[in-house]
Structure 1
Amino acid sequence: MPDSSPTYTRSQLALRNGQDRDSIWCAYQGIIYDLSASRLWRNGKHYEHWAGQDLTDELADAPHTDGVFKRFPVVGKLV
């Protein structure tokens, strides 16, 4: 990811939770992804996971690998 990519704080990420705004964003390993187009993230929830958060520590419990994030556009970096 280029150094010129936009950066967002955890507070800014939390606003993109699919409830306060239409945007559904999640972070993984310092990169923020836009999951808004995913039918599995409707209303900002995916199983027991909530949008607007860093999911790095939660991925170990998922039935998929981090390759799933390649399907979604990168928004910026989490700082």
Structure 2
Amino acid sequence: HMSLTISLDDVSAGKPDPTPYREACRQLAVAPGSVVAVEDSRTGTKAARAAGLFVVGYLPSGGLLGDVDLSTNRLSSILDLFPG
């Protein structure tokens, strides 16, 4: 279930610009520091980091995404990264 989506139709600049993430936080009325972005690209991780989000890198085949807080190769394990 998605509460909203942000596309290039909604913002003036796309990733790696942080505007899409900032706009999503604004529309959801949440502080960027309380949001987790799950990203599978360097441009996405750059955008999320610049917007002030906690960044989980998702690479099912391994590899590196740059500046991430945590990483996983399974989407099903993301919630397990945040116990409690």
State whether TM-score is above 0.5: no
> In proportion to residue count, which structure has more helix?
2
Greater relative CO (CA pairs within 8 A, separation 6+): 1
Q: TM-score, normalised by structure 2?
A: 0.27
TM-score normalized with structure 1 length: 0.28
Larger Rg computed on CA atoms:
2
